[in-house]
């Protein structure tokens, strides 16, 4: 078994697509019109274009998702995590692009992490794993 598609809740297709491609550097893989105002949009890592896809899921206002996102944000808990080669370098790059971080790079006996706001109401963690983690 392997991950095919995982999703992240969003409120605005275009805002999310711009952030995830132009700022984070993912590539748009699918953008399928599903009917009036509905689209199926996925992005992938340029390092693994045939790997797992991230679905930009327009369910941010669904009551259960809304409550979950609000609780996670209030507690400072990321909804998902992306691996990077160097957290400090990525942190500096994203800051220059205007990304708001809620946690600066932090390393405690394990991976180095940082957390940012994705402009769609989600906290996202970036993590630098050391060999063997």
Is 119 inside a domain boundary? yes
Question: For 91-123, how does the pLDDT look when each residue is reduced to its tens digit (9 = 90+)?
Answer: 999 999 999 999 999 998 889 999 999 999 999
What phi, psi does 38 have (nearest 5°)? -120, 135
Which of 75, 79, 63, 64 shows the shortest CA–CA distance to 121?
A: 79
Is 133 inside a domain boundary? no
Is 46 inside a domain boundary? yes
Question: For 24-81, how does the pLDDT look when each residue is reduced to its tens digit (9 = 90+)?
Answer: 999 999 999 998 889 999 999 999 999 999 999 998 888 999 999 999 999 999 999 9
CATH code of 53's domain: 3.10.180.10
Is 120 inside a domain boundary? yes
Which of 87, 49, 63, 65 shows the shortest CA–CA distance to 8?
A: 65
Which pLDDT belongs to residue 132?
57
Q: Show the tokens assigned to 113.
A: 């992490």
Is 89 inside a domain boundary? yes
SS3 18: helix
Map tokens 């983690």 to a residue: 133
Segments in the chain forming alpha helices (H): 13-18, 63-75, 87-96
Residue 79 sits in which domain range? 5-128
Which pLDDT belongs to residue 109?
80
Question: How many domains are there within the chain?
Answer: 1
Q: 125 with 111: CB under 8 angstroms?
A: no
Which pLDDT belongs to residue 133?
56
Number of helices (H), then strands (E), belonging to the chain: the values are 3, 8
Q: 11 with 58: CB under 8 angstroms?
A: yes
Q: Show the tokens assigned to 18.
A: 């711009």
């Amino acid at each position: 078994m392997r991950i095919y598609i995982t999703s992240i809740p969003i409120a605005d297709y275009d805002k999310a697509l711009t952030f995830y491609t132009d700022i984070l550097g993912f590539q748009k893989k699918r953008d399928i019109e599903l009917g009036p105002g509905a689209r199926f949009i996925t992005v992938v890592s340029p390092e693994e274009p045939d790997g797992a896809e991230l679905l930009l899921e327009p369910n941010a206002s669904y009551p259960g998702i809304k409550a979950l996102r609000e609780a996670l944000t209030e507690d400072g808990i990321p909804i998902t995590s992306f691996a990077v080669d160097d957290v400090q370098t990525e942190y500096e790059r994203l800051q220059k692009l205007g990304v708001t971080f809620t946690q600066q790079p932090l390393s405690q006996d394990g991976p180095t992490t940082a957390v940012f706001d994705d402009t769609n109401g989600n906290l996202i963690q970036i993590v630098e794993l050391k060999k063997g983690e």
